[in-house]
Structure formats: C-alpha cells, structure tokens
Amino acid sequence: MKIIVVGCGKIGTALIESLIAEGHELVAVDRSPAVLENVTNIYDVMSACGNGTDWDLLTEINTEDADLFIAVTDSDELNMLSCFLAKRLGAKHTVARIRNPEHNDGSLDFLRNQLELSLVINPERLVARELYNMLKLPSAARVETFSGRGLEMIELKLKNESILDGVSLIELRKKYPYKFLIGMVQREDEVFIPDGNFRLKSGDKISVIATSAEIQKFLKSVGLLQKQVRSVMILGASDTAYYLTKMLLNSGNSVKVLDKNEERCRVFSQSLPGAIVLCGDGAQQELLLEEGLEETDAFVALTGMVEQNVLVSYFAASHKVPKVISKVNRDEFSPLAEQLGLESVVSPRKTVANILVRYARALENSLDSSVETLYKLVNGKAEALEFIVHEDAAVCHVPLKDLALKDNILIAGITRNRKSVIPSGADEILPGDKVLILAAGYRINNLSDILE
C-alpha cells in the first residue's frame, strides 16, 4: 500500500518504522529538512519537505494514489486540515492525530464525520488507557485487552525464588485447575511458544491468557496477586496525565499530580477538580516523601523527559511503592529501564504503532478474516492478533487438533456469542468467531497464514 505520513516526530518515525517493516511504500512529509534527512537515511522512504496542508506539495507526492494518509504533527488543526485536503484529493483513508482534550469530547464524532476521517488517534488517551489497565491489575507488568473484553493477556515476570521456578506446564495445569494458558515465554532475548514439557525458570517473562476472573484466581493461588490500587501519584501534568486521572477518578481512586509548572497545575486542577494537584519539582525526594510516596499504592512518571521518569521511578521503587510505571518515549531506553529493575514501562510510540499496523493490515485484508486487534510483543518479535472469521475461511469446521499449524503459532482463544473460551483440541472455529492467535517470528496477515 502507498502510505503518506505527515509529521516525523516521535510518533511519526515510530509509524514509519513499523509500516516499512510491514512492507508498505512510504512518503514522509515534514517541515524540517534536517528531520527528513535523518528519516531518509534510516528508512527506505521518499521525503517531501513542506507543510502538510500545502496543496502543491500534496499533489506533488500524488496524494490521489495514497491508500492511507496519516497526519501526526503536533498540531491537531493542521492534522485535521491536511487529512481533509488529502481526502478531497482522493486519498482512500485518512488518519489524524487529535489529542487536545477540547476536541476529545462530544465534538470528536462530529469532527470525524465531517472530515471523513477513517480513524482518529489520540496517543495520550491510548497510553492513558494502557496505564489504567496496568493499574487495575498491579501484579502484571503489562495487560493487553481484546475486543470482546472477555480475554486478557497479562505479562508476568517470574522473580527469583518464584514458586513457579522449575515447574513444567503439565504440572502447572494439574496443580492449578483454572482455565488459563501460558501463551508465550520470553527468556533473555528469545521468545517461544512453550509446549507441555516446557519448564519455567526464574527471570522468565510469561504471558498468561485467561478471562479476567480466572486471571485473578490464578494470581491469587500462585501468590502473585497484589492488592487493588486505591491511591496513585502521578508525576507530570501532561495530557496523558489528564486522561489517566480522569479514568482513575471515575473508578474511585485518589490521585495526586505533581508538576513544576504553575500554569499547567492551574489548568489541570480547573479541568479535574477531584485530583490533588501539587506544584513542585518531582525530582526533589523530600517533596515526594512529604506527599506520602511511601504510602501510595502506585507511582506513574509521565514527564516529557525519559531520564527523569526513569530515575524518579527508580527512587519510588526503592521506597517500596508496590507498583511503579514509567513512560519511556525512546524505544532504545526501554530495555535499559528494565535492566535497572523497572518492570512496567509504557511507550507511546509502540502503542500508536500497534494501532496503525493493525489498521493497515485490516485494510489489505483478504476475504477469510479481518484483524480486530494487534499487539506487537517483545520488540516486534512476536504478535498477538485477534481475527474475526469470515465465511469460507479454511480454518472453519475443523477440530483444532487436526489443523496443520506452523511452529510457534498458538490458537489461544475463541470468542463466540460474547463468551470467551480457551480452546481445547476438540474445539472448532466457526464463521463469526473472534479468534486470538499468538505468533512468534511471523507476520500474520490472514487467518490462513497460520496454516502450513
């Protein structure tokens, strides 16, 4: 597909990176020649320098042939206008980043319809949603939800002396008779989909798939369940913090927000009077302790500076805050942060890239299925995908044990009539089902890709 990306900031380059890896043809547009030079040096894309709302520029890069037009500059208005122009010029689908809270209320649907946008992305809100899910289940390093809301996938890190150390999956299943599945194991840099004889080891990261009730039971019985988060401290009164605070307040948590900037603090407390807003330097340990860092259930670092997020999170973790999450804007720092012992890291770049990769795959989807949800895991080495099965798909009406699956592919869940199950070998896939697939080392476009 031909894809145009306007705006090559952090989000823009993350999109370019993952869409190039998907094999699409990309044109990058940005106002700064220096930024473009860097982008064309690293990725195989064509570049055009200028404003995304410039008609001359849009015609020069043949916007009329574009299958997908994505505007992710830092200005919502520019994004909307250039998507509108692109649509009028003949681009098939348009995606705009609209992140200002003012646009993200009732007016969003109106805007989307009037501008004929195919998709609106709000990285801040997406990240806030992800953070919220992580806070809801503090035991897990990450939580991924799927469209049916039936199944969840959580990532657990097995600490030293974990009671699961050395246990094989068959023994695990005998010992804990819940309906769950260990879908994926990451050991050092390798990822695999384990079979029954696989033995877990301390230090492994495992992905557990189950309905959320079963996950709670499982965590409880292996002694990993942490108590529910009730109070959260957030560093940085950013847009992400705004959305997160709103969600947390709505579910009855108490939230403290810290920011250095007085003006930002004022605006924040105006829009969310329920939160306690503190104006002060979050790097001051004294202030954090004074405000009860040690009593809080969770600490979330959301400033624009990765270094500060990581360091302050480290400080919070050393004060035994049960759940610490830091936002890491640069992908290359995530592994470093994890090495420092910070388990939970969110990256806005990845979150947005996941959404658009899924969207692009759904656009070029074939007849047998369409992608509903997609998560790239472990730096893109593995994927979790949810497909809607269409009529005539080759996988239908065959017991799963008789399907000739490729190696390192797992059918991890089937959702039928809003009921989600972890399938056994005798189950069959039927048209209309939502099927959850785990794949390590492949790119799955269609459901038929899982077959040999």
Partner 1 sequence: MNRRMILNTVGKMLLAEGLFLLLPALTALIYGEAKGLIALLITVGIALLSGGMMCGLAKPKSAVIYAKEGFFIVSASWILLSLVGALPFTISGEIPNYIDAVFETVSGLTTTGASILTDVEAMSHGMLFWRSFTHWIGGMGVLVFVMAILPNVSERSIHILRAEAPGPVVGKLVPRLKDTARLLYVIYIALTALLTVLLLAGGMSPFDSLIHAFGTAGTGGFGVRADSIASYSPYLQWVITVFMLIFGVNFNLYYLILVRRFKTALKSSEFWAYVTIVLLATGGVAVSIWGQYGSAEETVRHAAFQVSSIVTTTGFATTDFNLWPQFAKGILLLLMFIGGCAGATAGGFKVSRIVILFKQIRRELQKMLHPRSVKTLRFEGHQLEEQTTRGVLSYLALYLICFLVIFLFVSADSFGDFETHFSSTASCFNNVGPGFAGVGPTANFASYSLLSKLVLSAGMLLGRLEIIPLLIFFSPSSWKK
Minimum Å gap between C-beta 49 and partner 1 is 7
Dihedral angle of Cα 317, 319, 323, 324, to the nearest 10 degrees: -40
Fill in the amino acid letter for 206.
I
Minimum Å gap between C-beta 44 and partner 1 is 5
- Closest to partner 1 by CB, 2 vs 217, is 2
HEC-encoded secondary structure of 228-241: CCCEEEEECCCHHH
- Closest to partner 1 by CB, 1 vs 267, is 1
Minimum Å gap between C-beta 40 and partner 1 is 6
Minimum Å gap between C-beta 54 and partner 1 is 12
Whole-angstrom Cα distance, residue 301 to residue 335? 17
CA distances from 301 to 62, 230, 241, 279, 311 (A): 42, 17, 9, 15, 9
Minimum Å gap between C-beta 52 and partner 1 is 16
Dihedral angle of Cα 423, 424, 425, 428, to the nearest 10 degrees: -40
- Closest to partner 1 by CB, 33 vs 432, is 33
CA distances from 224 to 44, 157, 215, 227, 280 (A): 45, 10, 11, 10, 35
Whole-angstrom Cα distance, residue 243 to residue 334? 23
Question: Which chain residues interact with partner 1 by CB under 8 A?
Answer: 2, 20, 25-27, 33, 40-46, 49, 60, 62
Minimum Å gap between C-beta 34 and partner 1 is 9
Helix then strand then coil, % of the chain, to nearest 5: 35, 30, 40
Minimum Å gap between C-beta 353 and partner 1 is 17
Check: CB of residue 321 under 8 Å from CB of residue 327.
no
Nearest to 371 by CA among 390, 347, 391: 390
- Closest to partner 1 by CB, 39 vs 169, is 39
- Closest to partner 1 by CB, 27 vs 154, is 27
- Closest to partner 1 by CB, 62 vs 216, is 62
Minimum Å gap between C-beta 50 and partner 1 is 9
With tokens 């990450």, the residue in question is 142
- Closest to partner 1 by CB, 190 vs 307, is 190
- Closest to partner 1 by CB, 43 vs 178, is 43
Positive or negative, the Cα torsion across 51, 55, 56, 61?
positive
Whole-angstrom Cα distance, residue 372 to residue 423? 19
Whole-angstrom Cα distance, residue 175 to residue 223? 14
